[in-house]
Amino acid sequence: MPFITTSLPDLLIFEPHVHSDERGYFFESYNQSVFEQAGLDIRWVQDNQSSSQYGVIRGLHFQVPPHAQTKLIRVLAGRILDVVIDIRKGSPTFGHSFSIELSAINKKQLLVPKGFAHGFSVLSEQAEVLYKCDTLYHKPSEQGILYADPDLAIDWTIPVNQALVSEKDKVLPLLKQLNSPFDYAAK
């Protein structure tokens, strides 16, 4: 299977099979039957794409129920450090982070289920990021956690003096201030 488990329950890396030759490459970036065979019955309803320059840090974002989103993150150009935080009450990894480099070269994707805060930093000169969502964007449901929360101690691999962060993301609350609307359901 092209799915790799991570240190956080339910968070998966999707590594598609790439067919390469002297002409270039071809791969299925998404195939519903492959996901269903892995027990993942997800109906994608929205694709989002962003372009960012080196040093941009976006996140850590999530939407609260009933508008919570599962996301499938991939990079079309450049490279990013993709970061998630488990914010599910009762999870054995609540408050733990996971990070992975996603790039146009490695073609890995990260499947981020509901109950995780998500963000990324741009490691290349430019990066184009595409992510599928299973729920439509709903501005009133948008929340987040401060990217620089000292308790999380995330190494975004961007020097502090080169970090480009939106004003909105600079004032997000700390994890310890979050009353998480998500519960962990052990399988």
The pLDDT of residue 131 is above 90 = yes
Domain boundaries, the chain: 3-20+33-177
Contacts of 139 (CB under 8 A, 6+ apart): none
pLDDT tens-digit readout, 50-94: 999 999 999 999 999 999 999 999 999 999 999 999 999 999 999
Q: What is the CATH number of domain 3-20+33-177?
A: 2.60.120.10
Residue 1 has pLDDT above 70, yes or no: no
Once rounded to an integer, what is the mean pLDDT over residues 106-129? Answer: 98
169, containing H or E segment: helix 167-170
Percent of the chain having pLDDT more than 70?
A: 99
Q: Which sequence positions are flagged as catalytic?
A: 61, 131
